[in-house]
Each structure stands twice: as structure tokens, then as C-alpha cells.
Structure 1
Amino acid sequence: MNKFKLNKDTSYLVAVSGGPDSMFMLNSLIEQELTNFVVCHVNYNFRKDSNNDFKIVKKFCEKYNLKLEFLNVDQDYSELKENFESWARKTRYDFFVKIGNKYGIKNILVAHNRNDFVETYLLQKERKNYAKYYGLNKVSKYKEMNIIRPMLNILKSEILHYLQQQEIEFAIDSTNTDIKYKRNEIRASLKEEDFASIENEIKIKNQELNKLNLEVDWYVNNNMSAEELVITKNFKDENLEFIQRCVYKWLEIIKKDHLVQNRSNKTVFEIAKNIKTSHKVFWSMNIENYCLVKDYENIFIIKADLTYPKSFEIKTKEDLYKIEEFINWLDIFNAIKKNKEKYPYVVTNDYTKYKFETYTLGKKTNRYFIDKKIRYKNRMLKAVVYSKRTKKILNNIK
């Protein structure tokens, strides 16, 4: 059977569920006499017999004196509102990142095999998923971790035969035969003798994808301003897949791709759809604790709490400390001083409200915003100060 070899000078985390694939991988490390690794196990307590998985892993680690780090998940699954598989993936990979930081290790070995490679492609094809790569890539990233899949050339049947031959104990996940999960339905209908033709199809699809990704890279690299992506007219005319890939590439560059990695593919699709079809100069979308904003011809992403509206009344000099809530507090302070401190003032970034109540350079502020095309980024992040009596804004809005 096919085997894999790893660099003995590199440190690894090893993801071990207790199932046949991960126990095969763990045993292979022992056979290769690798020593610089840490075993990681996650017990979701999702199945009644999940503790048995942990016992198998623990027993193996004790036999060979291996370092074992484990996460015992305490979760009421009746209250879980998201897809279990996506939630579980994020849970375990965040755990890997934590353990990687503890030991200073950046590489995690995952026991996906050749069957998983084919099944993943067929699942992508069935769901018409956004895919960075069709099938499974030998190396990918999660946050700062390198995910390494050394077993993609090994068949499941070979793994099972070897484990039985060597009398290596492993656990069986009963949920793997539940065909309510689409992957299990695909798995049940697959035959290993059909893999060669499917893998040839995957190869062609990835060649096409590589060509598309070159075009994506060119657009994104030539249309970024600081950490913002510029939306050109030609870009809006591209197909949705191209726009989705550009959005994902941009998020990768600014290191925010983790916000959409574990969410429904609808997230990136909705962003792309809004870019392509919306005629609004401004729209926003909350993604976890961030806010993605379309602002005239740019899109950017910021912490959601920075967009929350805040307003303070400055009645006396003693109230001036309140302006420190805003990033442009010095500008506000100087505007009040220039106005000879004719209290009271209002300081606010609640532009949806103050734009209708105030005046800027003799115009209603709303009209001024429209005429000058004042960016929404500045409206949200920077505050204005105006006289409570005259409603006149005193600082510059740019």
C-alpha cells in the first residue's frame, strides 16, 4: 500500500479522533520514529459512545508515551442554532490554534484520505459550493496554522486492511453511516474503482480554477487601496463567481477570511450579489463582530462596535472628557476652542440622525453629504460637534 513520509525535523500537532484514519496516521508516525509532535483530541460528547473514542486515543498515547492535549466539549446541542459540522470544525480548529500557540507549533496533521478527497469534490459539485480548490488540498491554512493532509493518496480500504492486520484498535463513528448527511449518502454510493475517472475530472476542474484565480489575483492586487477593495464598473459586470472569488481573495489579504470560512457559502454569495446588483452608494452587512461596508466605490471591513452611534451633550468644560470616545477627538476639541467655548454642544457620530437636524456651510448637512460625496466611513468613525442652539456643525467633514 501507499505510505507517507514526513520531515523528522518539523514539529506537528496531530489531530486524532480515534477513528481508523487518524489512528492509522498516528501509528505511521510511530513507525517513522517521529517524536516531535503533540496529539490533539476533541470529544464533542455528541454521541453516547464518544468517551470510548477518547479512551482509545489515551491508551495509545500512554503506550508510546506521547503528549496528549484534549478538549472536552460541554454543549447543549438542542440549543445549537448553526450547522453542527461547521460548528464542530471551527471548534476543533480553534482548539488546534490554541494548542499550537502553547507549544509554538504551526503545523497540524489531518488524516483525510483518498476517499475523502473524492467525496469532498462530489459534495462541492452537488452543492455548487464556492471552492478554493476542488477536492482537498494537500496543504491549506486556518488562521496561522498550516493544515497538512499527508494521506490523500491512501484508500480507505487500505487503511482498514492495515489496521486489522496490525491489530490496531480504532473507534467507529456511528454517525458516518447516517445518510441524512449528504456526505454519507455520497459515500454509500461510491466505489473505489471509479476514483481514477473522478480524479481526472477534478484535475481538469482545478486547472480551470487556477486560470480563474490568476485573473482574480490580478484584479484584487491592482484594485486595493490600503485595506479596501475598489469596485470598478467593469468589476460589477463580471459574473458572480468571479466577484465572489475576488471578495474572498481580498479578505485573505487583509487576514479576515476566517470570518467567512466557517459560515454558509451564502455569506460570500450575498456580498457578491449586493456588489453586482445594488445601486445604493452605501450598504452594510454584519459578519460576526465585524461590519462589511460598501461605501461609494469601495468596500471595507471594520469592528462592528466602531459603527455604533454615540452622542454626548457637552454642557461645560468639565464634560470635554467625553469626546475621547471618538478617534477625531482633537479635531472636536479644537473646533470648540475656536468657537470660544459657547456651550452647550452636541458631539455625535449618529449621522443618520444629525444629518437632518444640522447645517454645514449654510446647507442642511444631508445635502452637504450628498453634494460632497462624504464617505460613510468618515461619517461612522468620526464625530461632529455642533452648537445645540444654532445646530451649526463646527468641525470639518471630509
Structure 2
Amino acid sequence: MRWNQLAEKKWIVGVSGGPDSMALLDLCRRHRVSVVCAHVNYHHRPTADRDQQIVEAYCRNYAIPFYSLDPVKETSGNFQAWAREARYAFFARLAVQEAAAGVLIAQHLDDFLETALLQQESGRQCEVLGIREEGRVLGVVVVRPLLSWTKRQLQEYCNRHKIAYGIDESNLSDDYRRNQLRHHELAELSEAEKRSEVRKLKARNHDRQKKKEAVEAKLNPADPIISQEIFLTLSEAEQRIFLRAWMQEQGVVPPSEAFLIELIKALKQKNGNFDVSFSKDRRFQAAYGFFSLDFTDEVSYCYVLDKIELFATPYFRIAENGESTEAVTLYQEDFPITIRNPHPQDAIQLRFGTKRLNRWFIDRKIPPDQRRRWPVVVNCRGEIILVPKIGCNVAHYSNNPTCFVIK
């Protein structure tokens, strides 16, 4: 995305106080990009407060809105993973609060190469090697405008324009594998050699993207439930491409190539239903000719509404448009309405008779995990008035529905 395109909208810019992000902040200002500065102080190293002061001083000098977060890590586990999650959650909240188009991040050409090398070392067949220039994290657009700049160029930019910055001392050690790659393997490459490697990786990514698009013309990775029959019409290479894209869409890091091969073998045997533990909270489940990535935890939810609001939850969303089997006409005497997950004896009175939910789930071959999360709309008298995909009861059907409840 070019600077003139960025200047058409408002953005959150993530700024740590290092030379990369300070260069990005200054480039945004010089190109008249409207930004809000977001800084996260983990207090994880002695110079953390110094870096925050550098960022605050720059923003104060140029009247740039500044927000900071001081997250506290309350559990054990990987610090880097926790820090990234806290950082992007903060950026996402700010983007909504400030009505911003998305978030700008200062990752650069060296970051691109380091990430690609780490991906290759892991043995995973990644859809994209390196870093995307534009993507989404937690539903928010993330743009990386500096992927054509090297780290050295960004530091030289700051020095030339007399922009203060701090050096993160943790980047100077070889404690992390990324630092080892940066200090040794990448340090031996000239700038021309780095750019040549990036061109090769981008050509590879372009080729994989074309193959992915061909697969997605047959199956949509955004669908949570996949037809086993249609999946098995793909070639073996296409099957692996699809599974990786589908798992990423479902919020799961794809497993190793060997795991995918064994999974495909199991799907080809078509010996009825099976499930495979995937992570501590997800499992791969094949049932009734379909497969899905299910949650292992039990689910119970209940939303009570005094009036109709358009909003989304992890289980359903209320919208102005949808399919006829998602529509319901509501009356004042129905409120407050409740939207909850199913109960064992739930049934709905339709025009052609009473339909028990459990029977419908079985007939439609809905996986057990999906059954537990299916929304049921109940009025204040305890009557089930809508089950999405089944339809509404007789009294709440009309050609002018109030809203649509979408699974």
C-alpha cells in the first residue's frame, strides 16, 4: 500500500521506541498520514521506561494522539507469545475506539527474511513464507509499509533526520533463535543478496497463492464444516493446501506436513466417524461425511435482549439480512427475548408440525460440537420462536421480518 493510499484513512501505528517504529512514525507524519500512536510497555527490561519516554516526547512535539498499555503477565508460559497477543489485542481495541482503518506495523525486509528462515527450519509447509504486506489480526487490518526497507536503512533514516530512538538490549544477545539468524546468517549477506532472496520468496508465495485460489474455487476455507466427499475430489497436493488454509481460517496453527498426510489418509479410508486431538482446546472431528475443528470445552451461553440490536458473538450474529430460515418477526410482547445454546428437550412448532432439535441435528448430520453452540431464540413466555436454518414458529413468520439470527 502506497503512502498516498494510507493518507486517505486514519491508522493506529504501533511504536516501541526502536529505530524501526520511530522511522515509521516519522514517515507517517511526513506523508501526512493521520495516525494514533500505540505503545506497549511490558516493563520487561531496564530501558523500557526510557523507550516510552522517547515515544511520548515525539508525539507531544508533533501533537500526535498517544496511548500506552502496561500489561501484566499473570500466568506462566512463553513470554513472546503472550506479549504479541497483548499487543495486538490493544491495537485492535484502539482501532475500534478511534474508528481507524487498521494498524501500521514497522516490520522490515530483515524481519521478512528472518521469519522465512524460521518457518523453513520448523518444517511446516506455510502458505506464505516471510511476512504479508497486508493481513488481518483479531479481525483488524494490519499493514506493514516498510517491508522494502532494511533495518540498516531505517536506522540511518533516524540518524539523518535526528529522530531519537532506543535500542532494545535483548536484541543484542543470541538467546533467541531469531537473534542468532540476524547476527550470523543474515549478517553475512549484502543488501543486494537480501533483496534477491526476498524476490525468490515472493515468487514462491505468488505461485502458492495461485494454487490456493484454484482450490478455494472448489471449497471455501471459511466454512467451519467441510464435505468429506468434495474434499476427496481434490488432488493430494490440493488437499494439503486446503487443510492449511482452512485451519488458519478457523484460528488454528496448521500442524506439520506429516500430520496432514496422516489426516488425509484417515479421511480417505471413510471408515465412519473419528476424531483426533489437535491441541489443548481443539480437536479434528469427522462425522456423517463431514469434518470440522471442534472445541473440547463445554459451552453454555445466554444473551437476554430488551430490544433488537445488531451485534455479533462467537456463536451467532443478529443482522438486517439473511436467509428465510434465519428470519423472525418479533412483537413487543415477546421481549425480553433470550438467545441461548440448545437444551436436550428443545422443540419448535413449525407450519408442518413440531420439530425436535436433536432429531434435526441428527438428520442434518451436524457435528456434536456445532450442536452444542447452535443458537436458539426464546421469547419471554419460554416459547422457542426461532432456530436458525430450521426456521421460526408459525406465530413469528411474516414477509417483513424484524431481523435475522445467523449461526
Same structural fold, with TM-score higher than 0.5 when normalized by the shorter chain: yes
Q: Which residue of 2 aligns with 1:297?
A: 289
What does 1:357-372 correspond to in 2, within 5 Å? none
- Distance in 2 (CA, whole Å) between partners of 1:327 and 1:271 is 35
Counterpart mapping for 1:52-63 below 5 A: 52-63=50-61
Q: Give the structure 1 partner of residue 42 of structure 2.
A: 44
In 2, Cα distance between the equivalents of 1:143 and 1:86?
15
Query: Where does residue 356 of structure 1 map in the other structure?
Result: none
Q: Give 1:53's aligned amino acid.
A: D
The CA RMSD over aligned residues, in Å, is 3.9
- Using the alignment, how far apart are the partners of 1:301 and 1:136 within structure 2? 26
TM-score w.r.t. the length of structure 2 is 0.67
Q: In structure 2, what is the equivalent of residue 377 of structure 1? A: 368
Distance in 1, Cα, partners of 2:173 & 2:48: 16
Distance (Å, rounded) in 2 between the aligned partners of 1:152 and 1:379: 40
For residue 226 of structure 2, what is the amino acid of its counterpart? L
| Shift in Å, 1:242 | 4.3
Larger Rg: 1
Structure 2 equivalent of residue 162 of structure 1:
157
Give the drift of 1:166: 1.9
CA contact (8 A) 1:177 1:184 kept: yes
The letter of the residue matching 1:156 is K
Aligned partner letter, 1:300:
S
Letter in 2 for 1:47: R
> Is 1:98 aligned with 2:93?
yes
CA 1:50–1:220 in structure 2 vs 1: closer, same or farther (change >3 Å)?
same
8 Å CA contact 2:287–2:365 kept in 1: the answer is: no
Cα–Cα, structure 1 residues 273 and 65, in superposed 2: closer, same or farther, change >3 Å?
Answer: farther
Report whether the alignment pairs 1:230 with 2:221: no
Check the 8 A contact 1:307/1:380 in 2, yes or no.
Answer: no
TM-aligned CA distance change 1:30 to 1:179, over 3 Å: same
Given the superposition, is the C-alpha separation of residues 237 and 72 from structure 1 closer, same or farther in structure 2, using an over 3 Å criterion?
same
Q: CA 1:48/1:208 → structure 2, altered by over 3 Å: closer, same or farther?
A: same
In the alignment, which residue of structure 2 is the partner of 1:129?
Answer: 124
* 1:329 correspondence with 2:328: no
Counterpart-to-counterpart distance in 2, 1:26 and 1:152 = 15
Structure 2 gaps of 5+ residues are 301-339, 374-407
Question: SS in structure 2 opposite 1:150?
Answer: coil
Q: After superposition, where does 1:1-398 map in structure 2 within 5 Å?
A: 4-34=3-33, 36-76=34-74, 79-81=75-77, 83-188=78-183, 189-190=185-186, 191=189, 192-221=191-220, 227-232=224-229, 235=232, 239=236, 242-250=238-246, 257=250, 259-260=251-252, 263=253, 265-266=254-255, 270=259, 273-277=262-266, 281-283=273-275, 285=277, 292-301=284-293, 304-306=296-298, 326-327=342-343, 329-331=345-347, 377=368, 381=372
Alpha-carbon distance between aligned partners in 2 of 1:12 and 1:290, rounded to the nearest angstrom:
34
How far apart, in 2, do the equivalents of 1:378 and 1:29 lie? Answer: 46
The residue type equivalent to 2:157 in the other structure is Y
Q: Say if 1:159 and 1:379 are closer, same or farther in 2 by CA, change over 3 A.
A: closer
Q: 1:165 to 1:213 in 2, by over 3 A?
A: same
* TM-score normalized with structure 1 length: 0.68
- Describe the SS at the equivalent of 1:52: helix
Q: How far does residue 276 in structure 1 lie from its aligned partner after superposition?
A: 3.2
The alignment partner of 1:9 has SS state of coil
Look up the equivalent residue of 1:105 and give its one-letter code: A
Give the number of equivalent residue pairs: 321
Q: CA deviation at 1:307?
A: 6.4
CA distance, structure 1, for counterparts of residue 198 and residue 247 of structure 2: 30
Using the TM superposition, give the Cα deviation of residue 266 of structure 1 relative to its aligned residue in structure 2, in angstroms: 3.1
Matches of 1:267 and 1:94 in 2, distance apart?
Answer: 27
SS at match of 1:96: helix
- Equivalent position of 2:388 in the other structure: none
Greater fraction of residues in helix: 1
Aligned-partner SS, 2:6: coil
Q: Is the 8 A contact 2:282 2:293 kept in 1?
A: yes
SS of match in other structure, 2:265: helix
* In structure 2, C-alpha distance between the alignment counterparts of 1:58 and 1:163, rounded to whole Å: 16
Change (3 A) 1:229 1:282: same
Determine helix, strand or coil for the equivalent of 1:136.
Answer: coil
Checking the alignment, whether the CA contact within 8 Å between 1:108 and 1:147 is kept in structure 2 is: yes
User: Equivalent residue for 1:394?
Assistant: none
Shift of residue 378, structure 1, vs aligned partner: 8.8
One-letter amino acid matched to 2:35: F
Distance 1:147 1:184 in 2: 24
Identify unmatched segments of 5+ residues in structure 1: 309-323, 339-348, 350-368, 383-398
> Is the 1:236–1:276 Cα contact (8 Å) retained in structure 2?
no
Q: What does residue 359 of structure 1 align with?
A: none
Post-superposition offset of 1:146: 0.9
Q: By how many angstroms is 1:132 displaced?
A: 3.0
Question: 1:16: Cα distance to partner?
Answer: 0.5
Report if the CA contact (8 A) 2:13-2:105 is conserved.
yes
1:282–1:376 contact (8 Å) kept in structure 2? no
For 2:10 and 2:129, locate their aligned partners in 1 and report how far apart those are by CA, in whole Å: 28
Kept in 2, the 8 Å contact 1:109–1:148? The answer is: yes
Please give the secondary structure, in 2, of the residue aligned with 1:329: coil
d(CA) in 2 for partners of 1:70 and 1:130?
36
Superposed CA deviations along residues 336-390 of structure 1, whole A, max 9, x for unmatched, are xx9xxxxxxxxxx9xxxxxxxxxxxxxxxxxxx9xx99765399649xxxxxxxx
